[in-house]
Structure 1
Amino acid sequence: MSVAIIKYNAGNVFSVKCALQRIGVEAVITDDAAVLRRAERVIFPGVGQAATAMDYLRAKGLDTVIKSLTQPVLGICIGLQLLCRSSQEGDTQGLGIFDLDVKRFDNSACPELKIPHMGWNTIELAGASALIPAELEGRHVYYVHSYYAPVGRDTIATTRYIVPFSAALHRGNFYATQFHPEKSGDVGELVLKKFIDL
């Protein structure tokens, strides 16, 4: 199984590579369009700022490459947000795979809930999915984010923090999680295995 992790101006790519190694999968970190197109699975991870990340993707031509991919693609955290139509962070235009506009958490009505949303929270299934199996209903996953994708037609799992939001999305060959599977213990490992086995 050939797996490529998209290299771009965002952190956390090596954590994802290490998480894959723990489940017996070797991956290459690359921004080479030909390598990405040949890979059987592509992972689009990241921790960073949306506008800066999109600028890098566009400069490398990776925005058009990602949208053209036909194999299973998994966005993680900012990867999920950039697969959406837009983000309030830096007024960023996204890739438009998911028809959602990413918003910043507003805790003005509940200031005791800090931003970013950081730590463990539960996921609830929003529909049948090969990525998030039924056994993960109510299980804990790890988050670090200040922006979120609202619940929409492509939502396959939700989490509530201030408001309900999309914990995971799926449309066609594109999958995405707002939580970090590489930091979510056995639950995250199962999600990564399910993605590899799609």
Structure 2
Amino acid sequence: TCLQYDEAGDTVILCSSVSKTLAPGLRIGWVISPRLAPQLIEQKILLNIATASLPQAWVAQLLISAKWQQHLSLVRRRHALAMAKMQQAVMTFFPEGTRISQPRGGFVLWVELAASLDGTALMRHAIEHHISITPGALFAINGAFRHCIRLNAAVHWSAQVEAAIAFLGHAVRDPIFHRSADKR
């Protein structure tokens, strides 16, 4: 992590949780920041006095056990398999020239489409069909990445997921989702 490069111990603030690897409903996370620890502890106490202790203790014990590493290994394998299937589906169903990220971990796939594509318009259309994507413009403050989308590969791969990718691949060819040259 970035924390290992923070030799002074006061530059990096590491925030993490078990939301993506264990259960989002637990709402358990942590912050590592030697310099800010006293202020963060004070804010935590002021904001939420009644955090449930039992789930936190259970997660703490799990994190130091061998079972946690076994669980992470399983999650990583599942995500890698789903990612490979999603990458293959995008390359199969999306137009030639589509570029995709090659992540070495994680569960999100970055898809770069034609420069004229409006990812936000595509997202609105996808939502109407109960398909969730994130437009690339959300990841920039200067209007960049409008022609990109982010897909979540942390799904149980199924014919329904493949059909959703095929639907998106067909939709990105529709001129209605492309901006004219003067609006880029």
> When the two structures are superposed, what TM-score results if normalisation uses the length of structure 1?
0.25
> Whose strand fraction is larger, Structure 1's or Structure 2's?
1
Task: Point out the structure with max Rg over C-alpha.
Answer: 2
> Whose helix fraction is larger, Structure 1's or Structure 2's?
2
